[in-house]
Amino acid sequence: MEFANSEEYRSRIKQILITEDQIKAELKKAGEIINAAYDGSPILLVSILKGAYVFLADLSRQVTVPCEIGFMAAKSYFEDTNSSGKVQITMDLTQDISRYHVFIIEDIIDTGRTLNELLKILSVRNPLSLQVITLLDKPDRRIVDLKADYSLFTIPDYFVIGYGLDYGEYYRNLPYIAEFEN
Ligand code: IMP
Ligand code: MG
């Protein structure tokens, strides 16, 4: 992916859907969900790279109970029309999650297929509990029956960029969430 110049780069940001202030307000509430889960056992916030890195950084700073951070990366292979597929973990957690209440911190749930497979992989490791917090939910596109335990924003079927989400690896660093001009 290449842009002719910075004008072209900026012109593909079609419209801002969710502002920095709106995100900030919702982060507080999501942080409280994590704080409320603390019962003396450690909490592990797991981010699936790369899309959730900004959300994890901001959300984790709303957490006031003992928590650790973990990262995973995965590659998925799906037949186009098939809901089940293979997910290969390319980077794994270092923690033994049977000691933790685990929160998966996601950028967006779209078809839900990748997260569905990851949840299966993580649940056989017997965490004390396993919950999903997603920044964005695009329910119109769902292929597998999967619902986050907590979702900050529900959006229509737009391709979105910013606040961690990319188009061709660009725009992750935008401080807001915008619709991408195709
Ligand atoms: P799925 O839920 O298995 O379809 O995969 C969701 C992943 O696709 C997300 O974690 C994103 O990396 C990517 N994705 C889905 N929708 C968008 C979008 O609108 N913008 C940018 N990335 C997206
Ligand atoms: Mg992702």
**pLDDT tens column, 50-68:** 999 999 999 999 999 999 9
For residue 159, the CA-to-ligand 2 centroid distance in Å is: 13
Is the CB of 165 inside a 6 Å radius of any atom of ligand 1? yes
Structural domains of the chain in order of their starting residue, each with its CATH number: 6-180 (3.40.50.2020)
Here the tokens at position 166 are: 């990319």
pLDDT at 140 exceeding the cut of 90: yes
For residue 109, the CA-to-ligand 1 centroid distance in Å is: 6
Split at pLDDT 50, 70, 90, the class of 95 is very high
Q: What is the position in ligand 1's atom list of the atom closest to the CA of 48?
A: 10
According to the 3-state scheme, what is the secondary structure of 62-98? Answer: CCCCCEEEEEEEEEEEECCCCCCEEEEEEECCCCCHH
Cβ-count burial of 168 within 10 angstroms (0-12 exposed, 13-18 middle, 19+ buried)?
A: exposed
pLDDT at 28 exceeding the cut of 70: yes
Question: What percentage of residues in the chain have a pLDDT greater than 70?
Answer: 97
Average pLDDT over residues 126-147: 96
Q: What is the pLDDT of residue 48?
A: 93
pLDDT at 108 exceeding the cut of 70: yes
For residue 45, the CA-to-ligand 1 centroid distance in Å is: 20
Contacts of 73 (CB under 8 A, 6+ apart): 48, 49, 50, 89, 90, 91
Split at pLDDT 50, 70, 90, the class of 78 is confident
Split at pLDDT 50, 70, 90, the class of 84 is low
Catalytic residue among 58, 110, 157, 166: 110
The yes-or-no answer on residue 110 being catalytic is: yes
Q: What is the pLDDT of residue 87?
A: 84
pLDDT at 81 exceeding the cut of 80: no
Split at pLDDT 50, 70, 90, the class of 80 is low
Gap between the Cα atoms of 146 and 112, Å rounded? 6
Mean pLDDT of all residues belonging to the chain: 94
Q: What is the pLDDT of residue 131?
A: 98
Gap between the Cα atoms of 156 and 141, Å rounded? 9
